[in-house]
Amino acid sequence: KSIQEIRDDLVAGRYTSHDLVIAYMKRIAALDTDGPKLNSILEMNPEALLIADACDAERRAGKAHGLLHGIPVLIKDNIDTADMMRTSAGSLALKDHYASKDAFVAQRLRQAGAIILGKTNMTEWANWMSTKMPGGYSSLGGQVLSAYNPSFDVRGSSTGSAVAMSAIFAAAAVGTETSGSIIQPSYWASVVGIKPTVGLISRSGIIPLATSQDTAGPIARTVADAAVMLNVLAGADPTDSATLAAAGKIPKDYT
């Protein structure tokens, strides 16, 4: 279902955010951990159900907030989250690295009410280890496989986020791009990826490759869902000078 359909269902009480998290967890277990073993998820958020329960309580109390209230999303593993999940850029060198502060992108997601369900696998260090590095391979997470055919290419470095959208492991996802790392894996996964102009979305708290070109961006199953995610992610960040030029110029609704 689309983000709007999920939102409507939550408002109507057809299911809860707790139900959603359980459903996505079961699907990830069946297809990512087991079955075809797509390997797109590097780590699940151990607090996801607790966050879902809190979102459900807020909704019952009439305090639902944000475009993504109680809706599970996934983010690439080079984006800092100050929680029980690591931020490793797919590398064994950072397997024990826990961020002390949320990236601005993670802050925006939480402010919109999203449940960060987990971190997605990626090409290690955003594909800057070797000219022969396979797309979607990391020393920490192994090789990401296409949801359509394991022999298909997956490309780019936001491969876990793109494949997770193919397999419907969350409502939407976030990737990052320096040169093709959102666009290419989205294309090969037959999903929608938007690589914004640098400065529309903050780079702070994201393990960099080239700050002159790096940017986060949404990956989703539909253009409308990607636009909703862009609404959430775009914004001026005082700690990222590139975003200051966008202040006051960001449309209220990309949909």
Could you confirm whether 181 is annotated as catalytic?
yes
Which tokens go with 147?
Answer: 């949801």
Provide the strand spans (E) within the chain.
41-44, 72-76, 115-120, 137-138, 142-143, 172-177, 192-193, 215-220
Contacts of 110 by beta carbon, 8 Å cutoff, 6+ apart: 102, 116
Candidates 106, 119, 140; CA nearest to 46 is: 119
Catalytic residue among 17, 40, 91, 157: 157
- Residue holding tokens 């001026």? 236
Could you confirm whether 186 is annotated as catalytic?
no
DSSP 8-state secondary structure symbol assigned to residue 62:
T
Q: How far apart are CA 153 and CA 41, in angstroms?
A: 17
Q: How far apart are CA 70 and CA 150, in angstroms?
A: 32
Candidates 99, 126, 87; CA nearest to 208 is: 126
Could you confirm whether 166 is annotated as catalytic?
no
Catalytic residue among 40, 146, 158, 181: 181
Q: How far apart are CA 71 and CA 200, in angstroms?
A: 23
Active site residues: 76, 157, 181
